[in-house]
Structure 1
């Protein structure tokens, strides 16, 4: 599961999730955490669909984007957190795809994730060279 991988790689990120504050160790079967991971996969998939259809991700006026940005700022999300999440997501998809995994599939998930992350970072007020 992607979120468990994140917590293994960046254990300090556990405190960013209110539903994990009183949880000891790394949860491997937590329905709230799994639902959160599914939202991230869904957003990345939707970003891929938009990129394919429109050539861009159009979330600038989305209330969800503003909410996501404010939560990420409030929780102290850093550039490294975006990197760790991407790595965990790709490893999870690769494991699920097994021998069907390819460089093309890696790019098909990486590019929309990077675009989505850039959109969230921009909404967070990050500028080039001014990222935590």
Structure 2
């Protein structure tokens, strides 16, 4: 059936809400990752050597705004591409960078599920109970799944080339 116009609209609408307070939702996003998978702390260079709780970590605050905004924007772009083209196409430069960064950090498939859960919970928090729906969850989930599939494919390419 493909990604529907309604799904694209749901992602765009919630992205507009998230953009209004990227620092707050970025911190929430990383806090959720660490809540779901505490060992993930060692995968982030800006968290590795810190005992600070996420809310008090100045490095996390600085890094999370950049990373979360990028993550959400790419997921939102994925939704638009799914609707327009039926697939996610990430520019070669961006995809190569994302693949290399994820390989270098030791990211494996289960990590993508942790990030997906944190992303969905962050969007839900941003939207509030009254605007959050299973349709919104499904739209973000599908867009994220397509983006992560493209990153995983590039990771495989990066790993193969390095071997």
TM range (shorter): 0.7 to 0.9
Residue equivalent to 2:113: 83
Residue equivalent to 1:15: 42
Q: Is 1:52 paired with 2:83?
A: yes
Residue equivalent to 1:120: 151
Residue equivalent to 2:73: 42
Give the structure-1-normalised TM-score.
0.87
* Partner Cα separation in structure 1 for residue 41 and residue 66 of structure 2: 15
Give the structure with higher Rg (CA): 2
Whether the aligned pair in 2 keeps the contact of 1:69 and 1:124 (CA below 8 Å) is yes
How many residues of Structure 1 are paired with residues of Structure 2 in the alignment? Answer: 125
Q: Is 1:107 paired with 2:134?
A: no
Give the structure-2-normalised TM-score.
0.71
Consecutive unaligned residues in structure 2, runs of 5 or more: 1-27, 158-163
Shift of residue 5, structure 1, vs aligned partner = 0.3
RMSD value over aligned CA atoms? 1.5
Go from structure 1 to structure 2 and tell me whether the alpha carbon gap of 1:52 and 1:26 turns closer, same or farther (over 3 Å shift): farther
Q: Deviations over 1:14-71 (max 9, x none)?
A: 1221122222143125121232111111110111111112111112x52111111111
* Partner Cα separation in structure 2 for residue 11 and residue 78 of structure 1: 15
Whether the aligned pair in 2 keeps the contact of 1:94 and 1:101 (CA below 8 Å) is yes
Q: SS state of the match for residue 106, structure 1?
A: helix
